[in-house]
Structure 1
Amino acid sequence: MKNLDVVALCGSLRSASLNRRAIRLAQEVMPSHMAIEELDWRAVPILDADALAHGYPAPVAALRTRIRAADAVLIATPEYNFSIPGGLKNLIDWLSRGEDQPFDGKPVAIVSASPGPLGGARVQYDLRKVLLFVNAMPLVKPEVFIGGATAKFDAETGACTDATTRDFVTKQMAAFAGWIAAVQRMQGSTAPARP
């Protein structure tokens, strides 16, 4: 079975973010042939077309290269004001510039964690629209919304203490591995013949 290289983006920059804890949970329960590396995007500036005219800033160029090389992307994000956090949207906007943008044909899984009861459901719907526009391949099911998340992760260690949440994320990561393989097979079968 092919090893899968997955990169993760956390929609919150807070070190103790519930969504960073969701990434850690995914790393704990992922299939044995999958590796998940969380990427640091704190140095990405606000998108500025004048700056882009001089090329990608170094942090953006490095992220584009790393995401393009990965088999897939996991996004764990909170919901801010009923939608996508501004920083995460800015990151996607930077990454999506240019014909060689790294989301093209890339399998993506989404998880959201929130102290509220909906678990970030609205951010996932908006994020899916953006991902479809950049031609990503979002995993449809199972969806994972971690509502009441403050009570589901240990306040000091960040470990998931809720068996149901652990089970949901385990099933999602197994489905994600299958989805990555399916997308790769599809892309392999439709790849143009090389001369």
Structure 2
Amino acid sequence: MNILGISGSLRQASFNTALLYTARELAPAGMNITIHRLHDLPLFDQDVEEQGDPVPVTALKQAIEAADGLLLACPEYNGGITGVLKNAVDWASRIGKGRKVAALTGKMVCIIGASPGITGTVRAQDQLRLVLRRAGARTEPQGDVLVFQAHTKIVDGRLGDERTRDALGRHLQGFAERLAATAG
């Protein structure tokens, strides 16, 4: 089971990128998580798209298409999803030249998130689910992984809080089970 992990943060010391690396460490047997960076992804521009997808866009779409599912680490900025993550969804929701469907169409997505705030990333995750559904992705209710007060749980790029690690591991196991159930 190949999962594509994407962080909605570009920050080098991102809590959400650290959460993805922890997810990769805690992934259940048979689940392989590859992390795809968004640092080179241009802002969505239909004029650019009409000339053909830029190389980073093609790479993102191909990575999504090759994955069995997506694991999105969703930060919360000002009560919403980051522009970086929304931009990636916007590109991946487009069919583009030479394709029959958009990369996100029918793709199962699992959302996690970490924030220094006391509510985690609940508002951003809700917004992201709406955007993903509109883009044709599948975001069945899977519960939430809302790592609140992340600065106390993720130190030096590592999630050390055992309760949160256990919750993330269970969440990933549930995601694997849902993917397996829908694959056959």
Q: Percent identity?
A: 38
Matches within 5 A, 1:69-88: 69-88=66-85
Q: Contact conserved, 2:132 with 2:138, CA < 8 A, in 1? A: yes
Report the equivalent of 1:135.
136
CA contact (8 A) 1:73 1:108 kept: yes
Match of 1:148 in 2: 149
Residue number among 13, 26, 32 corresponding to 2:10 in the alignment = 13
From 82, 85, 88, give the equivalent of 1:91.
88
User: Aligned pair 1:54/2:51, yes or no?
Assistant: yes
Question: Which amino acid in the other structure matches residue 120 of structure 2?
Answer: G
List runs of 5+ in structure 2 lacking aligned partners. Answer: none
Task: Tell me whether 1:22 sits opposite 2:19 in the alignment.
Answer: yes
Q: Which amino acid aligns with 1:132?
A: R
TM-score normalised by L of structure 1: 0.89
Structure 2 counterpart of 1:23, one-letter code: L
What is the alpha-carbon distance in structure 1 between the residues aligned to residue 47 and residue 82 of structure 2? 23
Unpaired segments ≥5 residues, structure 1: 186-195
Deviation string, structure 1 residues 95-133 (Cα, Å, up to 9, x no partner): 111152111111110001000000110000000001111
Alignment of 1:178 with 2:177, yes or no, is: yes
Q: TM-score, normalised by structure 2?
A: 0.94
For residues 119 and 61 of structure 2, the distance between their equivalents in structure 1, rounded to whole angstroms, comes to 32
Partners of 1:129 and 1:135 in 2: how far apart?
A: 10
Shift of 1:139: 4.2
Q: Deviations over 1:1-51 (max 9, x none)?
A: xxx000011000112100011101111111010000110221111111111
Contact 1:142 1:171 in 2 (8 A): no
Q: Distance in 2 between matches of 1:47 and 1:159?
A: 32
Give the 4+ runs in structure 1 shifted more than 2 A: none
Amino acid at match of 2:130: K
1:44 and 2:41 are equivalent in the alignment: yes
Residue 142 of structure 1 deviates from its aligned partner by 2.6
Paired residues of 1:107 and 1:183 also in contact (CA < 8 A)? no
Letter in 1 for 2:15: L
**SS at 2:70's partner residue?**
strand
